Amino acid sequence: SLPEGIVNLADFEAHAQACMTPSAWAYLNGGAADEQVMRANRAAWDALKLWPRVLRDLCGGHTRTSMFGKTWPTPLLLAPIAYQRLAHPDGELASAYAAAAQGAGMILSAQASVPMEAVARAMRQEPTSGPLWFQLYWRDDRGFMAELLQRVQSAGFEALVLTVDAPVQGARDRERRAGFQLPDDVRAVNLGGRKKPLDLAPGQSALFDGLMPRAATWSEIDWLRERSPLPLLLKGLCHPEDAREAMRRGVSGLVVSNHGGRTLDALPSTAELLPLLREVVGPDLPLLVDGGIRRGSDVLKALCLGADAVLLGRPYVHALATAGALGVAQALRLLRDEFEIAMALVGCRDVGEAGAHLLWPSRI
């Protein structure tokens, strides 16, 4: 059941910490190095101010959002977060039930700890559930990747999200200090097969001679697009030139992300990146954003900067640890309510009306 006194996303944090081992907590909540990017993401949303219009007729307003032929009630999706059974025995299954019940979408991590088919069934239970997408990490084994794509499509996932910002893990000091290791009963159950062990000669670099030759390059984007009819989004690219290249390669959308501050601790905040990337991709390419979204007003600010939808990360896993599916549903409910309040208070009738003119100071 839900503890008393939870009125916003931050209220889940203390409950979650009490429910998790210190090392699992460090894995979930930590970022890379000094955690500057993690803080910068939050600070950048806080620094933006809205500039309301009043006395507008908002009768018939709504927050419905459409992408890739699907319309759902609210522009929210759960970000792909690995190993959710660390937080709660029901793991990703509970998150899926909650997303479906609250009309949000879900991006299942490649490193989910629950079978993807069960998650897809949970999502399909509700007619108003949001999109269900599958996040991929590239693995240098095309047979393996081809089978995975087939399975993802058969299970009913509607798009692929290739995460491109983590060919190697960031140096996550907090997690390393806590000595985090995956417990035996939590595994990436959808990734069968075995990774090829690194075969290095003396003096070779594990990174440049071992891992990087196996990492994806732009030609793997072409391969993925040929191999799967599902829309392909890239998550975690930062540079306008990369956004242009992605468009030339026929990518269907981008998730503007710095991985919640878990990779390189020297990146711009996502609120800074978003308007830049919107400018280079033009008005039509679907853009999503994540990193430090904690309030309904943050969601509205993201839409005003050019996002079509927003991903929620750590807070829903705090809610999951606190109270399973019920907790995640409550977290989504709270965020959705705050978002609708913010929309009403700035005089915004639907997501299409959100724009830079509602941010202070604007040149109108």
Which of the residues 63 through 92 are near ligand FNR (CB under 6 A)? 79-82
Q: Which of 33, 293, 320, 332 binds ligand FNR (CB under 6 A)?
A: 293
Q: Which is nearer to ligand FNR, 305 or 347 (CB)?
A: 305
Helix (H) or strand (E) holding 72: strand 70-72
What are the CA-CA distances from residue 23 to residues 114, 178, 224, 318 (Å)?
A: 21, 5, 36, 15
CB of 59 to ligand FNR, least distance (A): 33
Euclidean distance between CA atoms 111 and 326, whole angstroms: 23
Query: Which span (89-97, 146-154, 199-207, 291-299) binds ligand FNR, by CB under 6 A?
Result: 291-299
Nearest-CA neighbor of 262 among 16, 80, 76?
80
Please check if 291 is assigned to a binding site: yes
CB of 87 to ligand FNR, least distance (A): 9
Please check if 364 is assigned to a binding site: no
CB of 162 to ligand FNR, least distance (A): 9
Please check if 15 is assigned to a binding site: no
Euclidean distance between CA atoms 338 and 332, whole angstroms: 10
Helix (H, G, I), strand (E, B) or coil at 2: coil
Please check if 150 is assigned to a binding site: no
- Binding map of ligand FNR across residues 9-28, x = CB under 6 A, - = no contact: ------------------xx
Q: Is the peptide bond before 361 cis (omega within 30 degrees of 0)?
A: yes
Task: List Cβ neighbours of 306 (8 Å cut-off, separation of 6 or more).
Answer: 274, 275, 277, 278, 279, 287
Please check if 316 is assigned to a binding site: no
* Number of residues binding to ligand FNR, judged by CB under 6 A: 23
Which of the residues 219 through 258 are near ligand FNR (CB under 6 A)? 235, 257
286-290-296-297 Cα dihedral, nearest 10 degrees: -90
How do 70-72 and 65-67 pair as beta strands? antiparallel
Query: Which span (96-104, 124-132, 310-318, 319-327) binds ligand FNR, by CB under 6 A?
Result: 310-318
**Any catalytic annotation for residue 259?**
yes
Please check if 80 is assigned to a binding site: yes
CB of 134 to ligand FNR, least distance (A): 11
Q: Which is nearer to ligand FNR, 253 or 260 (CB)?
A: 260
Q: Which of 85, 88, 314, 336 binds ligand FNR (CB under 6 A)?
A: 314
Euclidean distance between CA atoms 237 and 264, whole angstroms: 12
Helix (H, G, I), strand (E, B) or coil at 106: strand
Helix (H) or strand (E) holding 131: none
By the rule CB under 6 A, 298 interacts with ligand FNR: no
Residue nearest to ligand FNR (CB): 313
Would you report the helix, strand and coil content of the chain in percent, each value rounded to 5? 45, 10, 45
Active site residues: 259
Binding positions are: 27, 80-82, 109, 135, 137, 163, 172, 235, 257, 259, 262, 290-294, 313-314
Binding residues for ligand FNR (CB under 6 A)? 27-28, 41, 79-82, 109, 111, 135, 163, 235, 257, 259-260, 262, 290-293, 312-314
